[in-house]
Amino acid sequence: MTVSTSPAVEGWFATDDAPALLGSRCSACGNLVFPPTAAQAFCRNPACSGEQHEPVPLSRTGRVWSYTDAQYQPPAPYITTTDPFEPFAIAAVELPEGIVVLGQVADGYGVADLSVGDEVELVVETLYADESGERTIWRWRPTGATTEGEQA
Q: Taking Cα atoms as reference points, which of 98, 18, 11 lies closest to residue 56?
A: 11
CA angle 126–127–130, rounded 5-degree value? 90
Say how far apart CA 41 and CA 112 lie, in whole Å. 40
According to the binding rule CB under 5 A, does residue 26 interact with Zn ion? yes
- The closest of 11, 16, 43, 9 to 28, measured between CA atoms, is 43
Closest approach of Cβ 8 to Zn ion, in Å? Answer: 29
Q: Is 18 in the site for Zn ion (CB under 5 A)?
A: no
> Which of 28, 33, 70, 111 lies at the binding interface for Zn ion (CB under 5 A)?
28
Q: Looking at 37, 45, 59, 104, which residue binds Zn ion (CB under 5 A)?
A: 45
Looking at beta carbons only, is 44 or 135 nearer to Zn ion? 44
Residue 43 binds to Zn ion (criterion: CB under 5 A): yes
CB nearer to Zn ion: pick between 53 and 141: 53
Q: Rule CB under 5 A: say whether 95 interacts with Zn ion.
A: no
- CA 7, 13, 16, 20 torsion-angle sign: negative
By CB atoms closer than 10 A (0-12, 13-18, 19+), residue 118 is buried
32 interacts with Zn ion by CB under 5 A: no
Q: Which residues bind Zn ion (CB under 5 A)?
A: 26, 28-29, 31, 43, 45, 48, 50
